[in-house]
């Protein structure tokens, strides 16, 4: 099944929002962009849900941030593909870079594959949150983060024991800087929002270009069939070519094509009647 999912398959025209909704609903997470799945953990868990017991979930790092940790997740995923005899090469170097289109295409393929196995029906006995708790490094990393936060809070509390007079002297300076900091934060938020919008627009353009190429290829196939010597003078082929080669959009072109077919049918009926007589 996996090898039959080509780039022009309808799977690759599933939109970003549909993919995110599918992932969030099944894994009980809250992704807002497809590149957030670049670590490979989502893909591993989707395979874990589709093929229970096949994925060594204890090896999956659900908090992978570095490319090294992400690559380890994709190694787990590729091993699962090999075990299930799924002929799918994973473009790890592209995926870990967080490129939106590369990650979207891989998730589109994954959705098509999972739907082909279980018919799109969720495994009701699968608990995604509980399975993530069995991940290889998630718990230890969270523990380290908590310890780090604790140390930071202790440092802040000790620094607050200094001279009160010195703090009063600094208060005026801090208040003066607060407005500038707030303005800088607002600008950063706006820049990030614009970057996300640009990413979405680029993704939309890429998808539209792919859709254009898909339909162009279909029309080209139709044209080649209509140009074969045995068929090119058949009324139906003539009518189709009339539409294909129309210079601009005109209702009369469709009417003319329909007229060619209609005349052909009338002639066929007349010949059939003559033969009966």
Backbone angles phi, psi at 80, to 5 degrees: -65, -45
User: DSSP class of residue 198?
Assistant: H
Please determine, for residue 186, whether its predicted confidence score (pLDDT) is greater than 60. Answer: yes
Mean pLDDT of the chain: 78
The contacts of residue 55 (CB under 8 Å, 6+ apart) are 44, 45, 47, 48, 76, 80
| Alpha-helical regions (H) of the chain | 16-27, 41-50, 67-83, 92-95, 100-118, 128-132, 138-159, 164-226, 235-244, 251-276
- The answer, as to whether pTM is greater than 0.85, is no
Give the number of other Cβ atoms within 10 Å of residue 121's Cβ. 8
Round to whole Å and give the CA distance between 132 and 58: 9
Least confident of 8-17, 23-32, 97-106, 175-184: 175-184
Asked if 62 and 138 count as a contact pair (C-beta separation under 8 A), the reply is: yes
75 vs 67: CA distance, rounded Å: 12
Query: Under a CB-based contact definition with an 8 Å cutoff, are residues 8 and 105 in contact?
Result: no
The answer to whether 70 touches 44, Cβ cutoff 8 Å, is: no
DSSP 30: -
The tens digit of pLDDT for each residue in 26-73 reads 999 999 999 999 999 999 999 999 999 999 999 999 999 999 999 999
Say how far apart CA 211 and CA 8 lie, in whole Å.
9
Tokens 């957030």 belong to residue: 36
């Amino acid at each position: 099944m996996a090898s039959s999912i080509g780039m022009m398959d309808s799977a690759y025209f599933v939109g970003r929002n549909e993919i995110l909704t599918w992932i969030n609903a099944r894994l009980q997470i809250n992704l807002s962009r497809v590149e957030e799945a670049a670590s490979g953990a989502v893909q591993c868990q989707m395979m874990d849900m589709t093929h229970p017991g096949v994925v060594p979930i204890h090896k999956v790092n659900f908090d992978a941030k570095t490319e090294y940790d992400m690559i380890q997740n994709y190694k787990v995923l590729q091993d699962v593909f090999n075990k299930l005899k799924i002929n799918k090469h994973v473009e790890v170097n592209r995926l870990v870079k967080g490129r939106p289109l590369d990650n979207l295409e891989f998730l589109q393929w994954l959705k098509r594959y999972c739907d082909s196995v279980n018919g799109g029906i969720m495994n009701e006995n699968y608990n995604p949150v509980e399975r993530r708790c069995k991940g290889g490094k998630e718990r230890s990393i969270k523990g380290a983060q908590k310890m780090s936060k604790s140390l930071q809070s202790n440092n802040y509390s000790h620094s607050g024991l200094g001279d009160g007079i010195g703090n009063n002297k600094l208060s005026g300076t801090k208040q003066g800087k607060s407005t500038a900091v707030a303005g800088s934060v607002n600008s950063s938020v706006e820049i990030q929002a614009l970057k996300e919008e640009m990413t979405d627009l680029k993704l939309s353009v890429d998808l539209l270009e792919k859709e254009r190429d898909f339909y162009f290829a279909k029309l080209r196939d139709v044209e080649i069939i209509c140009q074969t010597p045995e068929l090119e003078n058949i009324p139906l082929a003539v009518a189709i070519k009339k539409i294909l080669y129309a210079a601009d959009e005109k209702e009369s072109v469709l009417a003319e094509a329909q007229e060619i077919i209609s005349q052909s049918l009338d002639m066929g009926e007349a010949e059939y009647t003559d033969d009966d007589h």
